[in-house]
Amino acid sequence: MTEKLHWDPELIQRYNRSGPRYTSYPTAVEFKVVESDQVEKDLLSQRDPQVPLSLYLHIPFCAHVCYYCGCNKIVTKDRSKSEPYLELLKTEIDRKAELLEGHPIVEQMHWGGGTPTFLSDEQMVDLMDYLRSKFNFSSADSADYSIEIDPRELRPNTLKLLRELGFNRTSFGVQDLNEKVQQAVNRIQPESMIRQVMVEARELGFRSINIDLIYGLPHQSQQTFAQTLDVIIDMSPDRLSVFNYAHLPERFKPQRRIKEEDLPSPEEKLAILGNCITTLTEVGYHYVGMDHFAKTDDELSRAQGNKVLHRNFQGYTTHGDCDLIGFGVSSISQISDRYLQNSPDIKVYEEAITNNTLPVVKLIETDTDDLIRRQVIMELLCHDQMIFSELDQEFEINSRTYFSEELAKLSPMVEDALLTIDANGIHITEKGRLLVRNACMVFDTYLNANIIQSYSASADASTPANRPRFSKAI
């Protein structure tokens, strides 16, 4: 059965405003500067050892710059730069592992970047051996060990090696297959190369293979993107991430090399997305939410159907019960209810490790109100509904009274038939699924406080720091 997502350009335009992607609540912009690493040490040593772990390792290096890129990366042709970074990373791994009580099970691991395969095969073996000497990796079938791969950065045996090291999932960065688009973003990647790595990954037994695409890139049109999508569908990835190009040239220097006049108009961009959603759902992909599509038999789709899907810094996941421990520059950890972030600056990161401290620079403590709101936002994003009685039971509140103001603020969305509110709870309709982020934003107290502040602080409103910090939904 094919899924029909309601596509209404007028409605989408009307609701299309900047907003967070809610991989956390409170979102990363609310994290506060910390002066000492003691709080992270306490959190690591006092956490419940029964809670399984999800590890995230950030490898920031890329050999080439893609002009659109908004990731935390270091572009260099000098391969020797990875060696001292690996030494720092191992020291951080060692320091954090030592603080953990018991032998917690690792159920999930993700290597992201930058480009993790910038590391040589020997370095990847060494890093994985080191991790295995410090952590207890689950061998259960449900364990997910994934890596982001730039198909241009693979040696002939690298995929095979990664399987041998225990990786069982992968995500390939593709973005677009059109030559003119690829030239404009400085990422030349022939279709044959992607086909080859897809076939090889599948033969090696990688599961849930994902492909990243971006819409809104220079020279893209409905026609060119439809061609890209046809080829990608033919390659049959299990999952697809179709990201909205976030063009923030004041923040990301390489984006200044993209000419504004080459970008598709907002109308064309919207049409590209509309066609993309129609095509993907017609050929049997399920829209999980927030740019993510998966085959209906993929674990993500099944978890959503069974109401056990979670969302965290790694996006949608089936391992939401884990404490997330990040390693490397800019990585984020989530230990019980708290979020912590490592320095995004390689020099600060290096200095902290060399000075025998943890490289944490930001933290957010959460109170009960944050946790209640987090639950609402995550339920809406993962399961398109929020059931009052579940919230009442978990937090001993009367959620209808607790959220009386927010429920009233949802009235325009009710009138537009994007959601319904009944005695059981809030239910996102088929028509509202693409706009669920707007409902979440109503429950975000920080966002609402910032909006009020920026109206009153009009003298500051034009400085770059006060321009919108989030990209638009579509």
Q: Which one, 179 or 337, has the nearer CB to ligand SF4?
A: 179
Shortest distance, position 114 Cβ to ligand SF4, whole Å: 5
From the list ligand SF4, ligand SAM, none, partner contacted by residue 246 (C-beta under 5 to 8 A by kind): ligand SAM
Distances in Å between the Cα of 277 and the Cα atoms of 208, 284, 310 are 20, 11, 22
Backbone region of residue 119 per phi and psi (left: phi > 0; alpha: psi in -120 to 50; beta: other values): beta
Q: Quick check: 12 binds ligand SF4 (CB under 6 A)?
A: no
Q: Does 112 bind ligand SF4 (CB under 6 A)?
A: no
Cis omega (within 30 of 0) for bond into 359: no
Contact 312/324 with Cβ under 8 angstroms?
A: yes
Tell me the C-alpha distance between 385 and 427, whole Å: 4
CA distance 174 to 407: 41
Considering only residues 174 through 203, tell me which ones interact with ligand SAM, judged by CB under 6 A.
Answer: 175
Tokens of 339: 């979020």
CB 155, CB 118: distance < 8 Å: no
The mark string for 13-52 relative to ligand SAM (x by CB under 6 A, - otherwise) is ----------------------------------------
User: Does residue 123 sit in helix, strand or coil?
Assistant: helix
| Residue 243 near ligand SAM by CB under 6 A | yes
- Interacting span for ligand SAM (CB under 6 A) from 108-116, 177-185, 303-311, 326-334: 108-116
Angstrom distance (rounded) from CA 276 to CA 282 = 10
Residue 240 structure tokens: 């697809």
Residue closest to ligand SAM when measured from CB atoms: 173
Residue 218 interacting with ligand SF4 (CB under 6 A): no
In the region spanning residues 68 to 107, those forming contacts with ligand SF4, defined by CB under 6 A, are 69, 71, 73
Q: Which of 332, 346, 442 is nearest to 30 (CA)?
A: 332
The only residue of 37, 92, 107, 150 in contact with ligand SAM, by rule CB under 6 A: 150
Interaction of residue 378 with ligand SF4, rule CB under 6 A: no
Of residues 65 and 165, the one with the C-beta less far from ligand SF4: 65
Question: Which pair of tokens denotes residue 237?
Answer: 């990835």
- C-alpha atoms less than 13 angstroms from C-alpha of 306 in its C-beta half-sphere: 12
Shortest spacing between CB 430 and ligand SAM, in angstroms: 26
The entry of ligand SF4, ligand SAM, none near residue 212 (CB within 5 to 8 angstroms by kind) is: ligand SAM
Q: Judged by CB under 6 A, which stretch of 65-73, 285-293, 447-455, 457-465 contacts ligand SF4?
A: 65-73
> Which of 59, 66, 418, 474 touches ligand SF4 (CB under 6 A)?
66
Beta pairing partners, 106: 53, 137
**In degrees rounded to 5, what are phi and psi of residue 171?**
-130, 130
Site string for ligand SF4, 133-152 (x = CB under 6 A): -----------------x--
Which of 383/437 has CB closer to ligand SAM?
Answer: 437
Identity of the residue, 173 or 359, whose beta carbon is nearer to ligand SF4 in the bound complex: 173
Which 47-106 positions form the footprint of ligand SAM (CB under 6 A)? Answer: 62, 68-71
> Residue 258 interacts with ligand SF4 (CB under 6 A)?
no
Least separation in angstroms between CB 95 and ligand SAM: 25
| Distance of closest approach, residue 213 Cβ to ligand SAM, in angstroms | 7
Considering only residues 441-470, where is the footprint of ligand SAM by CB under 6 A?
Answer: none
Out of ligand SAM, ligand SF4, none, which partner does residue 65 contact, by CB within 5 to 8 A per kind?
Answer: ligand SF4
Tell me which of 40, 107, 148, 176 binds ligand SAM, using CB under 6 A.
148
Rounded to whole angstroms, the Cα distance separating 297 from 300 reads 8
CB under 8 Å to 268, separation ≥6 — which residues?
A: 220, 221, 222
From 36-44, 109-117, 377-385, 428-436, span contacting ligand SF4 (CB under 6 A) = 109-117
Among the listed residues 114, 274, 289, 359, the single contact to ligand SF4 using CB under 6 A: 114
Residues in 266-325 at the binding interface with ligand SF4, rule: CB under 6 A: none
6 and 288 Cβ atoms separated by less than 8 Å: no
Secondary structure (3-state) at 140: coil
Contacts 24+ apart (CB under 8 A), 230-237: 230/279, 231/177, 231/191, 232/174, 232/177, 233/279, 233/280, 233/283, 235/194, 235/195, 235/198, 235/211, 236/198, 237/172, 237/198, 237/209, 237/210, 237/211
**Closest distance of CB 212 from ligand SF4, Å:** 8
365-368 contacts at long range (C-beta below 8 A, 24 or more positions apart): 365/338, 366/26, 366/337, 366/338, 366/339, 368/395
Residues that bind ligand SF4 (CB under 6 A): 62, 65-66, 69, 71, 73, 113-115, 150, 173
Residues that bind ligand SAM (CB under 6 A): 62, 68-71, 112-115, 148, 150, 173, 175, 212, 214, 243, 245-246
